[in-house]
Structure 1
Amino acid sequence: MQIIHHGAVNGVTGSCHQLDINPQSSILIDCGLFQGAETADKTAADQLQIEFDLTHITALIVTHCHIDHVGRIPYLLAAGFNGPIYATTASAALLPLVIEDALKVGVTRNQRLINLYLKRLQQLIQPIDYEQWFTLEVKNSDSGYQQAKAQFNVAGHILGSAYVEIELSGSSLNHNCTHKNSHKNTDIHNSNSGNRHDDDIKNEKDSHLVVFSGDLGASNTPLLPSPKSPFRADTLVIESTYGDKNHHNREHRAESLRHVIERAVSDNGVVLIPAFSIGRTQELLYELEQIIFSQQHNPIWQSIEIIIDSPMAANFTEQYIEYKNLWDSEAKAVLAQQRHPLDFSQLYTIDSHQDHLAVVNYLSSRQKPAIVIAASGMCTGGRIINYLQRFLAEPTADILFVGYQAKGTIGRDIQEYGPTGGYVYIEGEKIDIKAGIHTISGYSAHADQQNLIDFVKGIEHKPKHIRIVHGDTEAKQALADKYRQLLPNAEIKIGTG
């Protein structure tokens, strides 16, 4: 068995991992788009091209529908992939919406071609409920594993997100694993772990269980349940986006959000919040509705307009409401009070591009506070760009970052240089940053360092091999150090490019 990383090893984008079950059978876990610094010195075609061999790949497993995990699926299909695409039931509903948008932004506006892609995608998608084992095709081989099955478990990152357990069995080989990075043609062979219990050795002889974390959610976030650790993992491939940081707790972040917005709108300015259409936007709406409800006697909160300028976000919000059975108990209790945390009176949704431009002009000419939530979350494109071009140079405006900003993105540049009065280039235009710049890390949809440690602590039969991916170098190294303290007999490796 070996694992080959085709992305998310030099940073946090382009997630794509290949699990080789035997010489004739491999599984892909995610196939995401590269963004930010990871696209440097690459043409658009180079960023999207599927450079690895698909001959023996029998299936694609999707952990969730963020673009950095699914954005290269159209190119996978174009390269000849014809196997099943397994996703949770909610992710299966979201995936066509995400892919349609990705096609329009990065490939073609020709609706006929888009419809052909979507039709093929729908034919391949296999919706699977959480905690339901499903069989993966394994072709006969003289060596390697002969059977494989998988199941999804709640990851708490966005609607439908999952970590995936893949159990391999029927092998006549030893169970040392090989891990390979597709950008470096070198193998890293696992060493055997010591001091294992007899039942662990028996389990390893019978089967090998590989867990891919996808993106894990932070604990105690709104709307979705927190992830629970698997009972067992022999090999764990885990993200490390915040492997070197801990978030503010939820109570602190809600208060921070309220105070930042109250200060920001005291001069009747506009608050811009770049946010991903799936997950972050819905969490923000939930929290803003909570603040409005709790501040019923505060005229600021009773008059402020909250604008969602993203058709995609509106579509995904509808899906969140459709799948409210997946919400956590707290969110369901809000519904029971006849409140609507994702659909309230002060919320306005902008659909057409013409309306979007009209809103930008309207907000720039009026003296009334407003909150605008728009994609993309890292300011790499989307409608947030027009808002930034118009308002970054305005002292009465404020930019509030509530999610991770990858290196090389406009969002990271604003976050780094804005507080010191720097500047940023947007579409070739130099813009001096005079708007207020704020960051509330507690709103990240990603697990923080303690969450990632707790996830491993909660595994009853601990992993003997851990691969750390999907993080900047400092984050991966910090998390690796923590895991080595926690599991001194395990082999911990960092994915590198």
Structure 2
Amino acid sequence: MVSIQHHGAVQGVTGSCHQMTLSSGEALLVDCGMFQGAESAGRELDEEFGEKQIDFPLDNIKALVVTHCHIDHVGRIPFLLAAGFNGPIYATQATAHLLPLVIEDAIKVGVSRDKDLINKVLQRLQQLLKPIPYDQWFVVDGLPKTRGRFRVAGHIMGSAYVEFDAQGERVLFSGDLGAPHSPLLPAPKSPYKADIVVIESTYGDKLHEGRKKRRQLLKSVIERCLKDRGTVLIPAFSIGRTQELLYELEEIIHRATKRSNAKQQEKAETQSPWETIDVIVDSPLAAKFTAHYRDLKHLWDAEAQKKLADNRHPLSFDQLITIDSHQQHMKLVQHLKDSGRPSIVIAASGMCAGGRIQNHLKALLPDSRTEVLFVGYQAKGTPGRDIQTYGPRGGYVFLDNERIDIRAGIFTISGYSAHADQANLVSFVKRIYKKPSEVRVVHGDEEAKAALVKKLQAIVPGAKVWVPHE
């Protein structure tokens, strides 16, 4: 029988890293993610490579399998390489395409801007990467008679859940599962069978708004800002959420413009404000990912493909503006602060823990014309969680050790999280035809894990459904 250990994402929602070990002693890792927010506290410093993130032995670990390239699933890969890992790194073709960009940015933000160091890590990463198509079994080097397969997870481009056949057992690691009906990406489909399932629980105690409702919420928040002549700030991770938001904004603008044109034909004098609003992506990394998303459009879902056939460009429309240099960024921040020009600004980081969004927040949070719209999970200990918690009460937040009073409107739309909600997670397990005998619930706050365990116990009676620890 296989055994499973967890080196992250069991005390919270970040740092995903799971070890599957055969009875012979050989092992593989599934993901190697960075800890974020309060979950990163108390980690020792390593003189050679920043924080000491690899605190488990690597002697028997023969391979790394990556489910997708969000930082909380891949951010410790540079530390893994520095610690001596020398095995293959398996990923879907799209993830292998995007991963070097994520790793380069992670090193620049968290470790060093030394170009030689960055290039060495990226060169080593490229040497070890093994891109694998979806739905194709592959043999895991170094693990006797062990094979794996990536299946569409619908979370971000290239995301997958992974199945292993090992020692007569089918073991499934969910990675992060996407919600059905999300923009751009096809929904995940459950496998035929699984003996052991390791499943995420980010929203294990919550239900998302439906897509139609959340698009209406997005539209109404932005229209409120248009009325107040203020800026909508949307903290969003550079990969996945930014592209989904652009897709939805293009749809809102398209519909508003269509209605406005119809009214103009009826000699109406007013023009829809949606026709003139700027949609600003203030992140070079997000711009690069968006370009890659366009290159990977063969992976888009049927709805997105139809828009392309209709000569629409959901990730490259007329009102989209990209800010590249730091100088342009600072000029934009000052311009928005001084002018109050109605704009939509999408900037990283998604939890407000760094990046360009912090400069926007420092300048615009005290302005009552501003709206801050959270579209993804905010981990405990992050500025995003503090703004989300204390902002509606007229509180404050510390950014770069500076107290910033919050007079902006604060909104949250959970449906754009790109994560499956409780109903989606339960459905994923329910639709496994040959049910598992064990389900491990990870990657969630305590309340979310407990709620999901209770729901899953009703779906797989007799199975061991539990929350593991490191």
Question: Do these two structures clear the TM 0.5 threshold for a shared fold by scoring above it?
Answer: yes
Superposition deviation, residue 21 in structure 1 = 1.6
1:348 aligns to what SS in structure 2?
strand
- Aligned mate of 2:240, from 263, 270, 279: 279
1:147 aligns to what SS in structure 2?
coil
- Aligned mate of 1:123, from 124, 127, 142: 127
- Aligned mate of 2:148, from 138, 141, 150: 150
Query: Does the 8 A contact of 1:274 with 1:379 survive in 2?
Result: yes
- Aligned mate of 1:484, from 457, 460, 465: 457
Query: Unpaired segments of 5 or more residues in structure 1?
Result: 140-145, 170-206
CA distance in 2, matches of 1:467, 1:42: 25
CA distance in 1, matches of 2:142, 2:327: 51
CA distance in 2, matches of 1:283, 1:425: 29
> Does 2:134 match 1:111?
no
Residues 230-379 of structure 1 aligned to structure 2 (within 5 Å): 230-296=191-257, 297=260, 299-379=272-352
CA distance in 2, matches of 1:230, 1:44: 41
- Aligned mate of 1:423, from 387, 396, 399: 396
> Does 2:14 match 1:16?
no
Query: Does the 8 A contact of 1:33 with 1:48 survive in 2?
Result: no
Superposition deviation, residue 47 in structure 1 = 4.9
Structure-2 change in CA distance of 1:217 and 1:440 (3 Å)? same
CA distance in 2, matches of 1:375, 1:43: 27
CA distance in 1, matches of 2:3, 2:322: 47
- Show the counterpart of 1:200: none
Superposition deviation, residue 368 in structure 1 = 2.0
- The total of aligned residue pairs comes to 454
Residues 406-485 of structure 1 aligned to structure 2 (within 5 Å): 406-485=379-458
CA distance in 2, matches of 1:111, 1:378: 27
- Show the counterpart of 1:183: none
CA distance in 2, matches of 1:235, 1:19: 11
- Show the counterpart of 1:190: none
- Residue 72 of structure 1 aligns with an amino acid whose one-letter code is R
- Aligned mate of 1:386, from 359, 363, 375: 359
- Residue 246 of structure 1 aligns with an amino acid whose one-letter code is L
Q: Deviations over 1:406-447 (max 9, x none)?
A: 111100000000001111111111111100000111111000
Q: Deviations over 1:44-98 (max 9, x none)?
A: 5485421111001110000000000000000000000000000000000100000
Query: Does the 8 A contact of 2:283 with 2:348 survive in 1?
Result: yes
- TM superposition score normalised by structure 1: 0.90
Q: Deviations over 1:170-216 (max 9, x none)?
A: xxxxxxxxxxxxxxxxxxxxxxxxxxxxxxxxxxxxx1000000000
CA distance in 2, matches of 1:150, 1:36: 32
- Show the counterpart of 1:166: 164
Query: Does the 8 A contact of 2:140 with 2:147 survive in 1?
Result: yes
Superposition deviation, residue 160 in structure 1 = 0.1
Superposition deviation, residue 162 in structure 1 = 0.2
Identity %: 60
Superposition deviation, residue 138 in structure 1 = 3.9
CA distance in 2, matches of 1:309, 1:496: 39
- Residue 155 of structure 1 aligns with an amino acid whose one-letter code is A
CA distance in 1, matches of 2:349, 2:45: 18
- Show the counterpart of 1:174: none
- Show the counterpart of 2:56: 52
Superposition deviation, residue 367 in structure 1 = 3.8
- TM superposition score normalised by structure 2: 0.95
2:13 aligns to what SS in structure 1?
coil
2:42 aligns to what SS in structure 1?
coil
CA RMSD after TM alignment: 1.1
- Residue 78 of structure 2 aligns with an amino acid whose one-letter code is P
Q: Deviations over 1:368-404 (max 9, x none)?
A: 2000000010111111011111111111111000111
Structure-2 change in CA distance of 1:78 and 1:475 (3 Å)? same
- Show the counterpart of 1:187: none
Query: Does the 8 A contact of 2:221 with 2:371 survive in 1?
Result: no
After TM superposition, the structure 1 stretch with the greater mean CA deviation from structure 2, 297-306 or 40-49, is: 40-49
1:488 aligns to what SS in structure 2?
coil
